[in-house]
Amino acid sequence: MAKMISHCPVCSTKLNISTLTCKGCGMELKNDFELNSFDSLDPEQYTFLITFLKHRGNLNAVQKELNVSYPTAKKQLDNLLVSLNLFDDTAADSTENQEIIDMSTWTIPENSNKASDIIKQKLMENGGKATVYTVNGGSHEIRAASDGLSFISNKVNINPPWQYKVFDIIVDLLVSQGGTAEKGNGRGYKLGEGKCTEKTVVGAIGYHYSGKSLGDSVHDPVFFLAAILEWADIAYNGRGKLTLTDSYRKKINL
């Protein structure tokens, strides 16, 4: 059976269907039936759509199967949305200044149990960005940075950006304390004082990630980092504390 065509091969005018025929009884229904947007897709767009659906919208998997770069896959998706009259100009405006990252050359050690690798891998599987939710229900968009070592957020601005290794520091603290630790408070205490000791998450970040000394003020990003750990199914984000999930405990035999 010939593939449906949507435009006249002579003058390129959009075609309509005039007759529908039943293969069972031969009945014919004549009218002026208009082709829908899906019938108008060209072969490349159709192939992209089927691949996109097969991989449940995972652009990283799409680019691997089609052997294209991430920017090319993103462009093909935008073109497909335009053809289907689904392109959202508002959404496009909100992301037009965001850097498109080609993650096709990034590699993650196979079966790695490191929190940094797990989170980086999950971001890659989601096309380089994701939305995470804090314990209070606030939402934050996180995006992979082009250096492959760090990530950025639409609401937590810090320069230089946070690196994935901060999650390994947090998990090391949790493991050292049997799988759970207090988040702490870096806004009301100096490093080493009260709720900002090395045994708290905020204190461990200050000591081992930021390189701060006793008595120094520290940045307190725990509410944000805890949300990412929960999104990655590494730690439960409770009120006042972080606890390793059962699934992650099994991975590390804790």
Residue type at 93 in one-letter notation: D
Helix (H) or strand (E) holding 237: strand 235-237
Q: Specify the pLDDT at position 98.
A: 52
| CA 15/CA 232 separation, integer angstroms | 49
The secondary structure of the chain in percent helix, strand, coil, rounded to multiples of 5, reads: 35, 15, 45
Give pLDDT, residue 62: 84
Residue-wise pLDDT for 85-137, tens only, equals 776 655 544 444 455 677 777 888 888 999 999 999 999 888 888 889 888 87
How many angstroms separate the CA atoms of 249 and 118, rounded?
14
pLDDT at 234: 96
pLDDT at position 95 is 46
In angstroms, the CA 251 to CA 62 distance is 28
SS3 137: coil
CA distances from 192 to 64, 73, 87, 167, 243 (A): 48, 49, 52, 20, 22
| Unique residue bearing structure tokens 């050359």 | 105
The upper half-sphere exposure of residue 159, i.e. CA atoms within 13 Å in the direction of its Cβ, equals: 0
Residue 173 CB: number of other CB atoms within 10 A? Answer: 22
Kindly give the interhelix angle for 59-66 and 115-125, rounded to the nearest 10 degrees: 70
Which token pair is 224?
Answer: 């944000």
Residue 93: the pLDDT is 45
Cis-peptide, bond into residue 9, ω within 30° of zero: no
Tell me the three state secondary structure of residue 72.
Answer: helix
User: In the chain, what is the greatest distance between 2 CA atoms, to the nearest angstrom?
Assistant: 88
The pLDDT of residue 96 is 43
Q: How far apart are CA 214 and CA 3, in angstroms?
A: 72
pTM: 0.64
Intervals of the chain under pLDDT 70? 1-7, 9-15, 33-36, 70-71, 87-100
